[in-house]
Structure 1
Amino acid sequence: MTLIALGLNHKTAPIDIRERVTFGPDIIAGALRSLMEGSLVDEAAILSTCNRTEVYCAMSTPAEEPVRCWLGQFHGLDSERVEPYLYVHVNHQAVRHLLQVASGLDSMVLGEPQILGQVKTAFQTACDCGTVGKLLGRLFQHTFSVAKQVRTDTAIGSSPVSIAFAAVSLARQIFSDLTNQTALLIGAGETIELAARHLRQHQLGRIIVANRTIERAHALAEEFNGYAIGLTEIADHLAEADIVISSTASPLPVLGKGTVERALKKRKHRPIFMVDIAVPRDIEPEVSELNDVYLYTVDDLQGVVNEGLKSRQEAASQAEEIIEIHTEEFMCWLRSLDAVGLIQDYRRRAESARDEVLARALRQLECGKPPADVLGYLAHTLTNKLLHIPSTRLRQAGRDGKVELLQAANELLQISDEAKAAR
């Protein structure tokens, strides 16, 4: 069985490519079923976030080309359009990559904690769809354990650095004092909640939460003494917002240039700081053309987050050592699976020989043959049956000069060690 991790991320692909190959919550189950059709793969899980889309597969053959083609076809893209941005990791490298991803070592913000929850969600979704088997099940559970150890044994998460934190840090550069500012948070997921926490820590004046599900918006707004609205009400409240942070799973923009333009007129062109964390983008790119709007996307935040990376570099090195050890541990388990079938077949053959000789011995006892003679027959015949094929092969290996095979047999059976001990 071959393990493959295939995908693209913020390091290999620009945002306009990443948003074309995302798997939203509404299509990921269908995508997994599509991937499993025709025995393309034996097991599958899809991790899709604003910064990456990755497909994890267990396959009977080591050919990843069908998965490459499937990714482009599923999204209606020519393979040539996606191919330059893809990376593929196989077996050992695939295991290491997933451990690095879940531990936050491959994130835009080094050590950010949100990715582990996203990996867990991806795994649960695949489990619910029935696309996880023995290999991926063991791999993801191993991943969760290692990620937890990295968090516990290193300082990788000691600094409060994340995409949300970077967005708030940028807002503080534009508005040095947030106490008189109003923030409109579009969405109600983890990133928005984290942004709300950071804003509250910096004494933000007022929070408005907009979400498709108004109940979720109310719950989040209540926690931060904010005000909840539906997505359809954004246009009525946008003029109140000095800061807009958006992160939804909408396949289409929720905020257009015309809406922002009208809000600016109401504000008498007081500036609005906007951060679009979503992929696909929530805010039309054309909004950046407007005066008095500071619009940043996920990619734009890279420069901000770099400032918080220095304190995490040493912790990242320690984390890599932990990951390397546990990658090899998983690969040892994976390699052991190759021996399981061989061991089972060998035991079945030995048990078959035992049953055959035992049946003959019992018939001899029924015919009145002395028990001692029957036991001697049983021991002699069973020994010959078990040793006949290995002895024949060893003898032939000696004739053919296959020294390595003889040495391997000696190591496996420990014949020389027992012979020395007997002397």
Structure 2
Amino acid sequence: MALLTLGINHRTAPVELRERIAFTPERMAEAFSELRVASGASEAAILSTCNRTELYLAGDDDCAAAVLRWLSGFHGLLPAELENALYVYRDSEAVRHMMRVASGLDSMVLGEPQILGQLKDAYALAREHGASGTFLTRLFEQTFTVAKRVRTETAIGENPVSVAYAAVSMAHHIFADMSRNRALLIGAGKTIELVAKHLAEAGVRDFLVANRTLERAQVLAEARGGRGILLSEIPGVLADVDMIISSTASPLPILGKGAVERALKGRKHRPYFMVDIAVPRDIEPEVANLADVYLYTVDDLRHVIDENLKTREGAAREAENLITAGTQEFLSQLRALDAVATLKQFRQRAEILRDIETEKALRALRNGGDPETALRALARGLTNKLLHEPSVQVRKATAEGRVEVTNWLRELHQLETQDEPLSTTPENL
């Protein structure tokens, strides 16, 4: 079974490209249905976050070219638009990559914990659509085990600088005293929940949380003493907020340039601080061109995050060692499974030959044949049939110069060297 991982992330592609090949929840069923047909893979999983889109495929053949054509076509791009940003990992490198992703070593925020949950969601989604079989199930489960060890046995996750924390940190460059500012948070997922936590710690007391579902917005907002509203109510409150941080799964922008322009007219040059963490983006990029608006995307947070990386370099090295060990363990498990399957097939073939020769001997006995003659014929016939094909293949391999086949034969059957006769005493048989 061949394993293939193909994707783009925050290192290889800007947000403008990442948002174009992000998979929305509404199209996941369609994607799973098409992907396995287009690739020929027997198993598939899709991970799509603000920082990466990755496809995990298991099958008999290398299908990277077919997947690239499908991925670009599914999102309305030309393959050439993706090629320079695309990375492809195969087999052991694909295993290692997934474990690095799950452990937070491939994240924009080194050691950030959210990616593990996102990878678990991707696995659950693949199972829900019947796309994950025995191979990917084993890989995901081993990956989660290794990621848990990385979390518990290293300091990689201690005091992580999350994207949410970085977003709030940037607000300090605009507002000296954040207790005087009102925040509008768009979305109600885990990222926005973290943003609300960090804003509260920075002194913000006045919160609005806008969401497609009012109940979820109210729960999150009221936990911080704020108020929940629907997305449709945003234009009515826009002029009264100073900070806007957005992270939703919407396929289209939620906040447009026109709405912000109208809100700016009554603000008397009071600045707007906006961070769009979503991919695809929630805030139209043209908003950044307006006066008194400071709009940042998830890519703009990188320099804030980089400041904290050096403090965890030692933990990252420890984590890499655990991942190397975890990769080797998984590959050993696969090899063991392959051996079991081969041995099962070998035994089944031997049993078929045994049954054929046994039936011959029984027919001879039923016809009044001599028992000793029938028994010797059975032994001779079984020996010849069991050894015929291996003998042919060993002679062929030796003639081709593949002497390791002969060496393996000696090791498998514990044969002596050519100069030493094979003993036929009972204890050696």
Deviation at 1:271, TM superposition (A): 1.6
Question: CA 1:379–1:195 in structure 2 vs 1: closer, same or farther (change >3 Å)?
Answer: same
SS in 1 for 2:172: helix
Task: Give the letter aligned to residue 411 of structure 1.
Answer: E
Deviations 1:343-390 (A, max 9, x none): 233111100122223334445665677878766665555444433443
- Alignment-derived partner of residue 324 in structure 1: 324
- Alignment-derived partner of residue 278 in structure 2: 278
Question: CA 1:308–1:357 in structure 2 vs 1: closer, same or farther (change >3 Å)?
Answer: same
Deviates more, 1:33-42 or 1:294-303: 33-42
Deviation at 1:69, TM superposition (A): 0.6
Deviation at 1:335, TM superposition (A): 3.7
Question: CA 1:416–1:165 in structure 2 vs 1: closer, same or farther (change >3 Å)?
Answer: farther
- Alignment-derived partner of residue 131 in structure 1: 131
Q: Note if contact 2:350-2:386 (Cα within 8 Å) is conserved in structure 1.
A: yes
Deviation at 1:292, TM superposition (A): 2.0
The answer to whether the aligner puts 1:357 opposite 2:350 as a matched pair is no
In the alignment, the residues of structure 1 paired with residue 354 and residue 126 of structure 2 have an alpha-carbon distance, to the nearest angstrom, of: 44
The answer to whether the aligner puts 1:303 opposite 2:310 as a matched pair is no
- Alignment-derived partner of residue 101 in structure 1: 101
Task: Give the letter aligned to residue 11 of structure 1.
Answer: R
Provide TM-score, normalisation by structure 1: 0.92
Task: Give the letter aligned to residue 227 of structure 1.
Answer: R
Question: CA 1:376–1:153 in structure 2 vs 1: closer, same or farther (change >3 Å)?
Answer: same
Q: Note if contact 2:244-2:274 (Cα within 8 Å) is conserved in structure 1.
A: yes
Q: Note if contact 2:188-2:216 (Cα within 8 Å) is conserved in structure 1.
A: yes
Q: Note if contact 1:29-1:125 (Cα within 8 Å) is conserved in structure 2.
A: no
Q: Note if contact 2:361-2:377 (Cα within 8 Å) is conserved in structure 1.
A: yes
In the alignment, the residues of structure 1 paired with residue 237 and residue 357 of structure 2 have an alpha-carbon distance, to the nearest angstrom, of: 88
For residues 185-204 of structure 1, what are the structure 2 equivalents within 5 Å?
185-204=185-204
Percent identity of equivalent pairs: 55
Deviation at 1:72, TM superposition (A): 0.6
Q: Note if contact 2:247-2:276 (Cα within 8 Å) is conserved in structure 1.
A: yes
In the alignment, the residues of structure 2 paired with residue 56 and residue 294 of structure 1 have an alpha-carbon distance, to the nearest angstrom, of: 37
- Alignment-derived partner of residue 214 in structure 1: 214
In the alignment, the residues of structure 2 paired with residue 319 and residue 400 of structure 1 have an alpha-carbon distance, to the nearest angstrom, of: 45
For residues 216-365 of structure 1, what are the structure 2 equivalents within 5 Å?
216-363=216-363
SS in 1 for 2:105: coil
In the alignment, the residues of structure 2 paired with residue 399 and residue 97 of structure 1 have an alpha-carbon distance, to the nearest angstrom, of: 41
In the alignment, the residues of structure 2 paired with residue 401 and residue 25 of structure 1 have an alpha-carbon distance, to the nearest angstrom, of: 56
- Alignment-derived partner of residue 89 in structure 2: 89
Question: CA 1:219–1:267 in structure 2 vs 1: closer, same or farther (change >3 Å)?
Answer: same
Question: CA 1:264–1:400 in structure 2 vs 1: closer, same or farther (change >3 Å)?
Answer: closer
Provide TM-score, normalisation by structure 2: 0.91
In the alignment, the residues of structure 1 paired with residue 348 and residue 80 of structure 2 have an alpha-carbon distance, to the nearest angstrom, of: 50
Q: Note if contact 1:159-1:308 (Cα within 8 Å) is conserved in structure 2.
A: no
Question: CA 1:368–1:60 in structure 2 vs 1: closer, same or farther (change >3 Å)?
Answer: same
Deviation at 1:96, TM superposition (A): 0.9
Task: Give the letter aligned to residue 250 of structure 2.
Answer: S
Instruction: Please give the root-mean-square deviation of Cα atoms over the aligned residues, in Å.
Output: 2.5
In the alignment, the residues of structure 1 paired with residue 271 and residue 129 of structure 2 have an alpha-carbon distance, to the nearest angstrom, of: 46
Q: Note if contact 1:179-1:204 (Cα within 8 Å) is conserved in structure 2.
A: yes
- Alignment-derived partner of residue 415 in structure 1: 415
- Alignment-derived partner of residue 7 in structure 1: 7
- 5+ residue gaps, structure 1: none
SS in 2 for 1:97: helix
- 5+ residue gaps, structure 2: none
SS in 2 for 1:262: helix
Number of aligned residue pairs: give it.
Answer: 423
Q: Note if contact 2:40-2:63 (Cα within 8 Å) is conserved in structure 1.
A: no
